[in-house]
């Protein structure tokens, strides 16, 4: 039965085929795993989605080793990444998508005036893009969620997420859906194309990190604090090649949306994804969002033991967190793993001599805009109003995650309470979270130092307002809201008081526990924000037109295949030091408008990266002009284009966790488009490394990470800089060596002895095929 007040937004999603999943898992247990091996939940979901028809179907599975070929159940794409994914899917020459797929228009809406005006402006400014996406959706039978409908991860949680299933999303915070006990994995568009084209999707068999939750959250502490604390313990690299699986009695005490928040930010520690065992809260959430049939199916699957780990399941490592003793945290600035318990934050502000001011407080986004989040924020705003505090001191912006949330909190008076406290409701979209913030005001205009506090998930430098000096701190919506009333970084709402107009001192009480689901049920909101009724079948007659003169969209041309030779005399364009995230490699903000135009967006390639050879950001030597050219220095895109025109292959050297951050495949496509053949790093972020391979760029890591320091430009006045050549790449790419992953790199510069450095590749047999073909897509197109 459907819970009263539950809504059916779209075609109701039926329950997953649990019987088939169970059958696959049983077969895998018999043939590929040691008898009676206890499994984690993550393994159960992965192994039940193994593609049965591959040659590897009978090889034993070793966790953390080798590759799994999987059949995802669903694909979701946001509008910025969907453009390139669909342009690639068009090259794959398939009549329809092989799995249910959805497009969500959320990234291209500015936060400038008011919710409705911003959506209207976006529709005007991005008409060509929305039109392209909508036509592609119609042609291939994809659900299209229009601008204003909501943020991809919230819409997926409300409509599509289902316990025990496997989904790919072209956005790094796709793991949000782990709040409903599934594996939802952020990928680049080319990976999504695999699933959409019905090709097995390959994943390096991840290790499983168990996080045991005991106790129960109370008072000021919220689910956000669980992941803020974990980010501090694991750092931005600590989850790499791991699935984070929560277990223990504490899981039963969390709301479904709270678990989604925790899974969402697992992306910040580099985890492949995060998930929770099926709980009563998930069942209730499914029923409240119109999916009683999914809940019924999941209840049955759960009783059969499919939706939680086996007793005695072994985790590769375990962290234990007692929710009862957890403190609220504030993380940042500039990196999400700089975690400080609230009680110590004041000292940190004083020590660093940060200006004691919060210019803007922002709540909501895909991470923290649940009904529960908004109700608890409103509780604090109401306390402040009752206590005589009036409006917030900081500017206060609120982003609902979906039209359903917006309409429900409006109906229940939450919006009115937030607005009375000066809260300004933004549209149901990413806005300030992805740099679409027309912030205005002197601080961002003059690029001076200032602080903002948000309940978002990511706080890389310049991400929100384009100002590299904006210190962006992350906290729960409760802490953000309470601190907005003081406007000061040193204010601790748990202990400090604030003066009221009448001279009395006001102190917040902890926010009230609230029901995580609305008592009156959700309300769907405005019709124009619902997806058009899905066509019963794709309409192949739909024309997708891309104008050759468009500055926003450009049809793709296949990349050239590997030439069968060693990589020889490849110019080192730059050696990048420090953090090099996907934001450094392919900036968002104003560049989002070129997501569908590879040539135009390539003008931002690596413009945020700091080159050791010039000790400057976006400055590299240009050795394309022969003798005496060392003095010529240009921007990365400028020089890379000259190398491309001169037919000169180039590569870059990078530090740890190169490409961390988002699933942005442009960060791989653009260097490839400009002629980059390989990238040598101390390590790579998982999604980015796969993205590079998919686009035919060879990612190599230093066997001895200290060799990174041996590549330095000793002779800056030379006419040819540093060149590298491989020895052994041909044998690897010809498949002649399967048990060694090492290649030699000969590093050469004029006037210096050659250096030989050992580097390693992580290519599977299939991935070798991608490099040989020039890209994974070239292979798919060849099979059409």
Pick from 430, 465, 458, 461: nearest CA to 360? 465
Binding span for ligand F3S by CB under 6 A among 151-159, 161-169, 181-189, 252-260: 151-159
Tell me whether strands 633-634 and 620-621 are parallel, antiparallel or unpaired.
antiparallel
Residue 655 CB, nearest distance to ligand F3S (Å)?
Answer: 24
Binding span for ligand F3S by CB under 6 A among 388-396, 429-437, 665-673, 711-719: 429-437
Tell me how many residues contact ligand F3S (CB under 6 A): 13
- Separation between Cα atoms, residue 495 and residue 652, nearest integer Å: 50
171 binds ligand F3S (CB under 6 A): yes
End-to-end CA distance of the chain: 44
263 binds ligand F3S (CB under 6 A): no
152 binds ligand F3S (CB under 6 A): yes
Binding span for ligand F3S by CB under 6 A among 149-157, 277-285, 323-331, 420-428: 149-157
Structure tokens at 168: 């790919």
Binding span for ligand F3S by CB under 6 A among 81-89, 426-434, 441-449, 552-560: 426-434
> Tell me, what DSSP letter sits at residue 323?
G
- Separation between Cα atoms, residue 234 and residue 666, nearest integer Å: 27
Residue from 69, 74, 94, 173 touching ligand F3S (CB under 6 A): that is 173
Half-sphere exposure of 404 (CA within 13 A, CB side): 29
For ligand F3S, give the closer residue by CB, 187 or 674: 187
For ligand F3S, give the closer residue by CB, 43 or 79: 79
Residue from 430, 517, 587, 668 touching ligand F3S (CB under 6 A): that is 430
For ligand F3S, give the closer residue by CB, 457 or 472: 457
Residues 30-89 that bind ligand F3S (CB under 6 A): none
Residue 360 CB, nearest distance to ligand F3S (Å)?
Answer: 16
- What number of helices (H) and strands (E) belong to the chain? 25, 31
Measure Cα distances from 676 to 110, 191, 647, 730 in Å.
Answer: 33, 20, 11, 18
Residue from 162, 192, 366, 609 touching ligand F3S (CB under 6 A): that is 366
404 binds ligand F3S (CB under 6 A): no
Residue from 365, 392, 690, 695 touching ligand F3S (CB under 6 A): that is 365
397 binds ligand F3S (CB under 6 A): no
Residue 363 CB, nearest distance to ligand F3S (Å)?
Answer: 12
382 binds ligand F3S (CB under 6 A): no
Residue from 28, 254, 262, 434 touching ligand F3S (CB under 6 A): that is 434
For ligand F3S, give the closer residue by CB, 104 or 138: 104
- Dihedrals φ, ψ of 350, to 5°? -65, -45
- Separation between Cα atoms, residue 345 and residue 353, nearest integer Å: 12
Query: Is 171 in a helix, a strand, or coil?
Result: coil
For ligand F3S, give the closer residue by CB, 306 or 437: 437
Query: Mind spelling out the 3-state secondary structure of 33-95?
Result: CCCCCCCCHHHHHHHHCECCCCHHHHCCCECCECEEEECCCEEEEEHHHHHHHHHHHHHHCCC
Supply the DSSP string of 301-325, one letter for each residue. Answer: HHHTTTTSPPTTPPPSEEEEEEGGG
Residues in the chain: 784
433 binds ligand F3S (CB under 6 A): yes
Query: Mind spelling out the 3-state secondary structure of 411-437?
Result: HCCHHHHHHHCCEEECCCCCHHHHCCE
**Catalytic annotation, residues:** 106-107, 171, 458, 662, 664
Residue 758 CB, nearest distance to ligand F3S (Å)?
Answer: 38
For ligand F3S, give the closer residue by CB, 111 or 136: 111
For ligand F3S, give the closer residue by CB, 69 or 173: 173
Q: Which element (helix H / strand E) includes 700? A: strand 698-702
Structure tokens at 127: 């008409």
For ligand F3S, give the closer residue by CB, 192 or 366: 366
Q: Where are the alpha helices (DSSP H) in 78-151?
A: 79-92, 115-125, 127-140
Residue numbers at the binding site for ligand F3S (CB under 6 A): 106, 151-153, 171, 173, 365-366, 430, 433-434, 457-458
């Amino acid at each position: 039965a459907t819970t009263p007040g539950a809504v059916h937004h779209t075609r109701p999603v039926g329950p997953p085929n649990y019987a088939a999943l169970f059958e696959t898992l049983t077969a895998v247990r018999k043939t590929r795993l040691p008898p009676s091996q206890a499994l984690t939940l993550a393994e159960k979901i992965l192994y039940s989605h193994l593609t049965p028809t591959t040659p590897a179907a009978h090889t034993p599975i070793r966790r953390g080793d080798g590759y799994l070929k999987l059949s995802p159940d669903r694909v979701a794409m946001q509008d910025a990444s969907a453009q390139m994914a669909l342009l690639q899917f068009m090259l794959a020459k398939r009549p329809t998508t092989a799995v249910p797929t959805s497009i969500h228009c959320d990234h291209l809406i500015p936060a400038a005036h008011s919710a409705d005006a911003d959506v209207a402006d976006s529709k005007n400014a991005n008409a060509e893009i929305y039109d392209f996406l909508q036509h592609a959706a119609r042609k291939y039978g994809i659900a299209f969620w229009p601008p204003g409908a909501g943020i991809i991860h919230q819409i997926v949680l409300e409509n599509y997420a289902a316990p025990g299933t496997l989904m790919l999303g072209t956005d790094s915070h796709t793991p949000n859906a782990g709040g409903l006990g599934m594996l939802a994995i952020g990928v680049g568009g080319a990976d999504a194309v695999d699933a959409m084209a019905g090709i097995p999707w390959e994943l390096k068999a991840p290790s499983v990190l168990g996080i045991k939750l005991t106790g129960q959250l109370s008072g000021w502490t919220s689910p956000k604090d669980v992941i803020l604390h974990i980010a501090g313990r694991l750092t931005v690299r600590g989850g790499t090649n791991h699935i984070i699986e929560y277990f223990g009695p504490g899981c039963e005490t969390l709301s479904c949306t709270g678990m989604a928040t925790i899974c969402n930010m697992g992306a910040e520690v580099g985890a492949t994804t995060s998930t929770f065992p099926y709980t009563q809260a998930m069942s209730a959430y499914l029923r409240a969002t119109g999916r009683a049939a999914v809940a019924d199916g999941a209840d049955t699957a759960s009783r059969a033991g499919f939706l939680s780990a086996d007793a005695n399941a072994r985790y590769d490592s375990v962290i234990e967190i007692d929710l009862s003793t957890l403190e609220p945290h504030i993380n940042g600035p500039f990196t999400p793993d700089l975690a400080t318990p609230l009680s110590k934050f004041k000292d940190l502000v004083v020590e660093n001599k940060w200006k004691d001011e919060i210019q803007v407080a922002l709540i909501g986004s895909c991470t923290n805009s649940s009904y529960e989040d908004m109700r608890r924020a409103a509780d604090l705003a109401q306390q402040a109003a009752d206590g005589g505090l009036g409006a917030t001191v900081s500017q206060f912006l609120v982003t609902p995650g979906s039209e359903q949330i917006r309409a429900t909190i409006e109906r229940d008076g939450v919006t009115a309470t937030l607005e009375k406290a000066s809260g300004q409701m933004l549209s149901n979209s990413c806005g300030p979270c992805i740099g679409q913030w027309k912030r205005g005001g002197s601080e961002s205009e003059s690029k001076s130092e200032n602080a903002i506090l948000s309940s978002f998930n990511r706080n890389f430098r310049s991400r929100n307002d384009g100002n590299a000096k904006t210190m962006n701190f992350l906290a729960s919506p409760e802490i953000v809201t309470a601190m907005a009333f003081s406007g000061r970084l040193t204010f601790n709402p748990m202990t400090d008081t604030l003066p009221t107009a009448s001279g009395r001192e006001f102190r917040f009480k902890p926010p009230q526990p609230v029901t995580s689901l609305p008592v009156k049920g959700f309300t769907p909101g405005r019709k124009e924000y619902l997806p058009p009724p899905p066509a019963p079948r794709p309409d192949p007659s739909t024309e997708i037109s891309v104008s050759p003169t468009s500055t926003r969209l450009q049809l793709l041309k296949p990349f050239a295949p590997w030439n069968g030779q060693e990589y020889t005399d490849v110019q080192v364009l730059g050696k990048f030091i420090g953090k090099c995230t996907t934001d450094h490699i392919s900036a968002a903000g104003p560049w989002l408008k070129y997501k569908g135009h590879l040539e135009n967006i390539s003008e931002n390639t690596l413009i945020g990266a700091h080159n050791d050879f010039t000790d400057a950001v976006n400055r590299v030597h240009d050795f394309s002009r022969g003798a005496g050219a060392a003095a010529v220095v240009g921007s990365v895109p400028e020089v890379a284009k000259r190398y491309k025109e001169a037919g000169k292959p180039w590569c870059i050297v990078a530090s740890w966790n190169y490409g961390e951050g988002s699933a942005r495949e442009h960060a791989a496509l653009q260097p490839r488009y400009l002629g980059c053949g390989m990238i040598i790093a101390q390590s790579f972020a998982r999604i980015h490394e796969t993205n590079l391979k998919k686009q035919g760029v060879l990612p190599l890591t230093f066997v001895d990470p200290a060799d990174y320091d041996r590549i330095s430009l000793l002779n800056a006045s030379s006419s040819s800089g540093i060149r590298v050549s491989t020895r052994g790449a041909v044998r690897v790419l010809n498949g002649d060596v399967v048990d060694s992953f090492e290649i030699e790199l000969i590093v050469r510069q004029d006037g210096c002895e050659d250096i030989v450095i050992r580097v390693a590749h992580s290519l599977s047999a299939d991935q070798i095929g991608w490099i040989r073909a020039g890209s994974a897509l070239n292979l798919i197109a060849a099979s059409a």
